[in-house]
Amino acid sequence: MAAGEKVISIGDKKSSQYAAIDGKSLFNLDIMKAHGHDKLVRIFIPIIYRSSSSGHSGNNSKDDDVALGVVEVGYFYDQVSQVLRWLQAFSSFSFQSNVLRYLRYLEREKIRLQFYVNNLAYPYFRTYIKDQKKQIYKFVEDIEKGSNQNRLDHTGFLQLVLNKMAIRLGVKYGDISLVSYNTDEIDFMHETLTYGYTHEDVKENNKRFRKENEGKEGIINYLAKNYNEKNGEAENRLLYYYTGDVVNDKRYIKFLEDARSEMVLPMVLNDDATLIGVVNFISTEPDYFNRVLATIYAKGVKKATDIYLQKKQYNALKAIILPFDTFTQTEESIYRSMVESLKQYFLCDYISVWTRSSFKDKQFVLSHATLSDFYERYVAFDFAQAEIKEDSSVGNPAEITHVNTIGNKESRLYRFATQFDLQFKSYIILRISIDDKYQAFINVFSRRTINDDEISGYSEAFLDEITKKVGFAIQTSRLLNSVKSVTSSLANREQSSPEQMIVNQAYNLLPSVDSVVLFPYRQGKTILIKEAIVGGANLPEEDLANKEKPAYFANLILEKGTQWIENESQYLDLAYKAFSERLHEGTFWRKKSLKSVAAIRLVHDEEVLGVMFFNYTAAKKFKEDNSMIFIDAFTNFAKVALLNEDFIKRLQEERMKVEQENNNLARTQRELKAEKEQLQQGKKDIEEILEKIHKKAAGESFFLILQGINHDIRNLLLGMAASLDWYSEK
C-alpha cells in the first residue's frame, strides 16, 4: 500500500466483516509463486479510526474515516475456519492487548503477517488514540507548569497554549476567539488571541475579502449558534470542524489570503453545555487536517479549557478581596469586585445586588447593578422586596438557587422584564450569608435560557466559592471596623465603660448570637455574678439576691480553659463540675433555651484577663462555620483591649500620684517664696534704720561699733536670701 493511501472500512463499527480476496487477483503472480504464496488466501483487515461521537468534518460524511494501517493475513485454505475464529476473537478486544498473543499464534502456524502504515499514524487503532490523548494531556499540563513558573494569568496561559499547539501542529496561523460576557456571539475583534497574524492583518484583509465572503455564516458563529441553541440534543452539535478546501467551503470565511485548510475546536464551560470560545488553526497546505488530529486536539483543548477556567476562577476570587486584604476595603468595594468577577466569568447580561446594612434591618436595598439605567428601573419597580423574606435564616450558607425561568406571565419579574423590554429569559439567585444569616442576594440575569446543567461543575463550584469568599471578606471588614472603633474610643477615652463597648461590638459583629457576657478578672479574686457586663437581646435576668455570689460557671472556665459547647449534654457535664449543689431544672441553659455557647477564657501572655460567653438559641457547629474564626479573632482583640485598659488604669493611678507630689512641691515653693519676700523686706527696713543711725552717730568709736554690727547683719541677711533662692529653685 502506498504511503498516504486511503482505506475505507468494511462493515460498520458494531460488527466485524472481512473480505476474503484471492491473492492472484491482487498481486503479481510471478512474485507470489516466487515466495510460495500462490496457495495462500489473504484477508486484509483495515484499521480504521471511527469516532463514536457525532462530530463530523466539513462535509458531514462518514466516508472520510482515517486509515491508521492495514493488517494483511495470509493463510492456507485448510486453516480458514481456525483462523476466522481467531480473527473474530481478536476483533472483540483492543488491538494492543492482543497483538502480541496474535502474532505468536501466527508465527506458530507459520502464517505471515505484514503491516502497511500510512503517513497519518501508527496502527494501534483506538489504543493509539488513547495514547495520543494522554500525550496531549501531558503536553497541556507541561504548558500549565510553564505558565505557573512565568506567573501568567488565565489569558497568558491561553496564549501560551495557542502558541505551543500551533508549533506542535506545524501550522502557520492560529487564534482563540472568546464569547463576550453579555452576548451569545463570538467577539472576534475584541476577545481574540492570535498566532502568526495580528488584528490589523485581519482588518486589512477583510476589506479585500468582504465581497468574496458575502452571505457566508462562518463556522465560528455556526458553532456558537449550535451550542447555545441546544434543544436538549447534544448529538446535533458539532464537536469539532475541519475542512481541507477553504476556498469552496460555504461555511468558511476567508480572511487570510494564503489559507488552504482549517480546523476549529470548541471551548465549552461544561461537557455539552455552554460554548465560551473556539480554537482555530489554519494551514497553508490543503487537506492538512483529519479526524484523528481533530479528535486528539479537541481533547487537548478541553484539558486546556479546564485549566483556563480554574485560573480564571482563581483570579476572579483574588479580585473579590480575600479576607486579609480587606484592611482598606469597604463593603461597597467588595461587592463591586464581586460583580465584576461574575460579569467576566459567568455569561450573563445584568447583575443586581440587594444588601442590608446590618442584621437588625429587615429590608434589603438595591446597592449595586451592572447598568445604571437597570438600577433605576429596578428601584422604580421595587421587585425584590416581594421576593425576599424578612427573616432570612439559612441552613446551608453556600446554597445556590436552581435556575429560574421567566415564563410565568403573572409573576412580578415577568411583568418587570416586559415593561422595560429587558428581554432576559432566566436568572439565578445567589445568597451571601454571614454567621448563618443572609446578608445579600445577587440576581444574575441572562437573555439566554440557562439550564440547570450550566451551573454544575465549574460554574457551581465557582459560584459556591465566590459567595463564601464575599461573606468572609465582608465579615472580616466589619471585624476590622469594630476593632478600629473600640481602639479609637479607648485612645480618646470616649467611653466611660470600655468593657461595655467591647460587649456591644461583639454582639453587633455576630448576627446570630443572642447575648454576649463579659466577666473581667481581677487578679487573685473570685469572679462574682454582679461583675457581669452583658449585651444582646436574650439577656440573663439580674439576680439581686445572689449578685454577691461567685459566678461558678465563669470561674470554671478560668480553670478549664475555652469551651465550645454545641449541646446541652456538654453544658451539663461542665455545670456539674462548676456547681457544688445539685443542679435544678432552672439552669441558665434551659431558662434561655440555649443550643450552643462559646465560653472563651481571655488570656494574654499568661495573664488571665476574664471570660466571655457567646450564647446562641440556634444550634451551632463552631468548627464547621466561620463563627469560630471570628469569635477567636474578636476575643484576641478584646484581650489586647482589656490589657491596654488595665494598663491605662495603672498609668492613671501613677499619674495621679505624680500630680499630687507636684502639687505638694508647688505649694512648698510658694510658701518659701513668701518667706523670702518677707526677709527681703526686713533687710530693707534694717538698712533704712542703719542709715538713720549713721547720720546721728556722734562719735567715731560708736560709729565703728555700729559699722561692725551692720556688716554682721548684712552678711546674715545675704546668707538667708541665698538659701531661700536655692529652695525656691528646687
Tens-digit pLDDT profile for residues 544-555: 456 677 788 888
pLDDT band per the 50, 70, 90 thresholds, residue 347: low
Q: Which CATH class is domain 495-625?
A: alpha beta
Cell numbers for 584, please give them.
435544678
The whole-number pLDDT of residue 410 equals 60
Q: Contact 266/239 with Cβ under 8 angstroms? A: yes
Residue 188, SS3 per DSSP: coil
Give the mean pLDDT of 229-240.
50
Percentage of the chain exceeding pLDDT 70: 43
* CATH number, domain 321-476: 3.30.450.80
Cα(438)–Cα(393) distance, integer angstroms: 6
The whole-number pLDDT of residue 525 equals 77
The 10s digit of each residue's pLDDT in 519-577 is 888 776 788 878 888 887 656 555 545 667 778 888 888 888 888 888 888 888 887 77
Is residue 544 classed exposed, middle or buried when 0-12, 13-18 and 19+ CB atoms within 10 A define those classes? exposed
pTM listed for this prediction: 0.53
Largest CA distance in the chain: 181
Give the mean pLDDT of 292-297.
80
Give the mean pLDDT of 309-314.
79
Within 320-396, residue ranges assigned H as helices are 331-345, 372-381, 384-387
Give the mean pLDDT of 368-390.
57
More confident residue, 419 or 68: 419
What are residue 515's DSSP bridge partners? 536, 615
Positive or negative torsion for Cα 565, 568, 569, 575: positive
The whole-number pLDDT of residue 22 equals 31
Give the mean pLDDT of 64-75.
52
Cα(637)–Cα(545) distance, integer angstroms: 34
Q: What residues contact 702, with CB distance under 8 A and at least 6 apart?
A: none
Cell numbers for 724, please give them.
531661700
More confident residue, 438 or 206: 438
The whole-number pLDDT of residue 166 equals 92
The whole-number pLDDT of residue 709 equals 53
The 10s digit of each residue's pLDDT in 481-497 is 777 776 666 656 555 56
Least confident of 15-24, 47-56, 236-245, 657-666: 15-24
Q: Is 705 left (phi over 0), alpha (psi -120 to 50) or beta?
A: alpha
Give the mean pLDDT of 510-516.
82
More confident residue, 410 or 416: 416
Domain 129-317 has CATH 3.30.450.40: yes
Q: What is the mean pLDDT of the chain?
A: 65
Burial call 601-620: b when 16+ CB within 10 Å, e when fewer: bbbeeeeebbbbbbbbeeeb
The whole-number pLDDT of residue 164 equals 92
pLDDT band per the 50, 70, 90 thresholds, residue 323: very low
Least confident of 104-118, 209-223, 603-617: 104-118
Least confident of 7-21, 122-136, 370-384: 7-21
pLDDT higher than threshold 90 for residue 162: yes
pLDDT higher than threshold 50 for residue 449: yes
C-beta atoms surrounding 342 within 10 Å: 23
Give the mean pLDDT of 617-638.
78
pLDDT band per the 50, 70, 90 thresholds, residue 161: very high
pLDDT band per the 50, 70, 90 thresholds, residue 322: low
Cα(355)–Cα(428) distance, integer angstroms: 16
Q: Which residue has the cell 502568526?
A: 196
pLDDT band per the 50, 70, 90 thresholds, residue 705: low
pLDDT higher than threshold 50 for residue 214: yes
pLDDT band per the 50, 70, 90 thresholds, residue 160: very high
Give the mean pLDDT of 360-373.
69
The whole-number pLDDT of residue 163 equals 93
The 10s digit of each residue's pLDDT in 604-624 is 777 788 888 988 888 888 877
pLDDT higher than threshold 60 for residue 111: no
Cα(214)–Cα(197) distance, integer angstroms: 23
Provide φ and ψ at 524, rounded to 5°.
Answer: 80, 5
Using CA atoms, how far residue 408 sits from 352, 375, 392, 453, in Å, is: 21, 23, 25, 21
Which of 54-58, 369-373, 388-392, 626-630 has the highest average model confidence (pLDDT)?
626-630
pLDDT band per the 50, 70, 90 thresholds, residue 364: confident
Cell numbers for 13, please give them.
463499527
Q: Contact 254/209 with Cβ under 8 angstroms? A: yes
pLDDT higher than threshold 50 for residue 16: no
Integer-rounded Cα radius of gyration of the chain: 45
The number of CA neighbours under 13 Å toward the Cβ of 459 is: 28
pLDDT higher than threshold 80 for residue 468: no
Give the mean pLDDT of 588-594.
79
